A = this chain, B = another copy of it.
Amino acid sequence: MTTPWHFLSLRDVDSATWQELLAQSEILSGARGRRPLLQGKRFGMVFFNPSLRTRTAFEVACSDLGASSVNLQVGGGLWSLEHRDGVVMDGPHAEHVKEGFAVLARMLDGLGLRSFASLSDAAADARDEVIRSAAAASSVPLLSLESAMDHPHQGLADALTVRRKVGERAKVVVTWAPHVKPLPLAVPHAATLAFAHEGHDVVLAHPPGFDLDEGVLQDASALAEAAGGSLSVSHDRDAAFDGARVIYAKSWGARGDYGAPETAAAAVQAHPEWIVDAAAMGRTDHGVFLHCLPVRRGVVVTDEVLDSPASGVIDQAAARLDVQKATLCRAMGVTA
């Protein structure tokens, strides 16, 4: 079979596709996004993890475009799935991703999969095995709904939001934030790659020990350079915030602590001063505050900042609907 268009990572997206997806997102954000462009098409989603925005935006995108959608939740009515090759399946998993996605691909015209990082094996997470296994099994396009390594629809929405709110090359800070437990790196990866694609001057700010995946950083640097921007890493939060136009906050765990949950939790609780508060925002150039949501108030960001006019998080989430319409249309071979 011809390889279908899978959308798994912003690292795989070339410049023309990137620009086209964002252009289509804008077109589909209006009345042209509420026409039966995908009449009769069916989209199916498999979630290994919770979702509010991603699932709702895809279900609404489908109905707005005349398509239908099916939502399957592992642990909520779906068989438990194995993804490793060559294993004897005598453990808890009743079905292999190979059969599961091959079957779904025969009933549906496009698929989505959410599978978070294990946070126990950094090397396995870096291979993004679950979504890669599903993509190999699927004869129809597979869209990432967030995998261990990337969250490409979030990155698209982030880029679109900054286009709408800033509209030009700008200093954009992706800043680590405190949390109560270690979280995956998919979102900071996606945001960094997205702002690199856009040619912003991206500053990745985090305490020592919280480095992102090296391969992602290399790709993001190359993308930023090609787009006329830059990527730098800083451990100095104040310097990073100085004059920034966008503050993109997100917590993530230290990869060195994978497999050691207590150490990992202590590490993300060890820098409470990295909370985004009004003083920090005061260093920026009328900076817009962004976060992918869900966000923990009083831990990642103060209520004062989140409830201020500087916060763009609701607009950012709403942009998910626009970009997901664009990837759905591309997956189904339709141009708006």
Contact = CB atoms under 8 A, between A and B. Distances in A.
A89 B299 contact: yes
Interface in A48-88: 50-53, 55-57, 59-60, 63-64, 68, 70-73, 76-79, 82, 86-88
A86 B304 CA distance: 10
A297 interface: yes
B294 A99 contact: yes
B72 A68 contact: no
The binding surface of chain A is classed by DSSP as mixed
A184 B314 CA distance: 34
Nearest to A49: B77
A95 B299 contact: no
Nearest to A179: B90
A197 to B, nearest CB: 24
A89 B314 contact: no
A104 B55 CA distance: 11
A321 interface: yes
Nearest to A297: B89
Given A73-B76, A73-B77, A317-B103, A295 B95 contact: yes
A134 interface: no
Give chain A's interface residue range (CB within 8 Å of chain B).
35 or more
A57 B44 CA distance: 11
Nearest to A108: B60
Interface in A285-326: 293-299, 303, 313-314, 317-318, 321
A34 interface: yes
A107 B318 CA distance: 7
25 contacts: A40-B64, A50-B78, A55-B70, A56-B107, A59-B68, A60-B68, A73-B76, A73-B77, A79-B294, A86-B303, A87-B298, A88-B299, A89-B296, A89-B298, A89-B299, A90-B180, A90-B296, A94-B296, A95-B293, A99-B295, A99-B313, A103-B318, A106-B317, A106-B318, A107-B318
A314 B78 CA distance: 18
Interface string A174-207: 0000001000000000000000000000000000
Nearest to A82: B297
Interface centre among A53, A79, A297, A313 (most CB of B within 10 A): A297
Given A100-B294, A103-B318, 5 more contacts: A42-B64, A59-B68, A90-B299, A106-B318, A107-B321
A113 to B, nearest CB: 13
A89 B181 CA distance: 12
Nearest to A114: B77
Contacts of A250: none
Interface in A214-228: none
